[in-house]
């Protein structure tokens, strides 16, 4: 992650609130998770990220970093819909609407 040359890479490393070591350990766990486990962890991380932002006013938290790791793992598996479904579910819960998130998991790294 750090030292990358892609757009946004420097920003992520500047705002990281989780240690690289902890993030690497989390990525290893995600790689071993079943699809169901990955979907559930993703939903929890997104939910916590939203609520952490609302409670603290911070734009980023450790949960944002972990949710991004979930997105990366879903993409690695060729199943970005796992992340998108979790994002839609959290959006519906938080916004209280029947619609999914207007944000799509489309960024390509």
Predicted TM-score (pTM) of the model is 0.71
End-to-end CA distance of the chain: 11
Give the domain extent around 54: 9-95
Query: Looking at the domain assignment, is residue 2 inside a domain?
Result: no
The residue-averaged pLDDT of 25-42 equals: 96
Query: Looking at the domain assignment, is residue 106 inside a domain?
Result: no
Answer left, alpha or beta for residue 8, where phi above 0 means left and psi between -120 and 50 means alpha. Answer: left
Answer left, alpha or beta for residue 7, where phi above 0 means left and psi between -120 and 50 means alpha. Answer: beta
With bands split at pLDDT 50, 70 and 90, how would you rate the model's confidence at 109? very low
Query: Looking at the domain assignment, is residue 79 inside a domain?
Result: yes
Query: Looking at the domain assignment, is residue 25 inside a domain?
Result: yes
Query: Looking at the domain assignment, is residue 29 inside a domain?
Result: yes
User: What gap in Å lies between CA 73 and CA 34, rounded to an integer?
Assistant: 11
Query: Looking at the domain assignment, is residue 4 inside a domain?
Result: no
Lowest mean pLDDT among 28-32, 42-46, 98-102: 98-102
User: What gap in Å lies between CA 63 and CA 89, rounded to an integer?
Assistant: 17
Query: Looking at the domain assignment, is residue 69 inside a domain?
Result: yes
Q: Is the pLDDT of residue 108 over 70?
A: no
Per residue in 50-82, pLDDT (tens digit) is 887 777 776 677 888 999 999 999 999 999 999
Q: How confident is the model at residue 32, as a pLDDT?
A: 97
- For the chain, the domain total comes to 1
Query: Looking at the domain assignment, is residue 24 inside a domain?
Result: yes
């Amino acid at each position: 992650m750090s030292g990358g040359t892609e757009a946004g890479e420097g920003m992520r490393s500047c705002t990281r609130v989780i240690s690289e070591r902890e993030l690497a350990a989390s990525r290893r766990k995600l790689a071993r998770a079943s699809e169901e486990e990955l979907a559930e962890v993703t939903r929890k991380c997104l939910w916590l990220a939203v609520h952490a932002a609302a409670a603290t006013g911070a734009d980023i938290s450790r949960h944002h970093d972990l949710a991004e790791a979930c997105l990366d793992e879903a993409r690695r598996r060729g199943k970005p819909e796992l992340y998108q479904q979790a994002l839609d579910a959290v959006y519906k819960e938080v916004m209280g609407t029947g619609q999914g998130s207007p944000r799509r998991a489309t960024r390509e790294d």
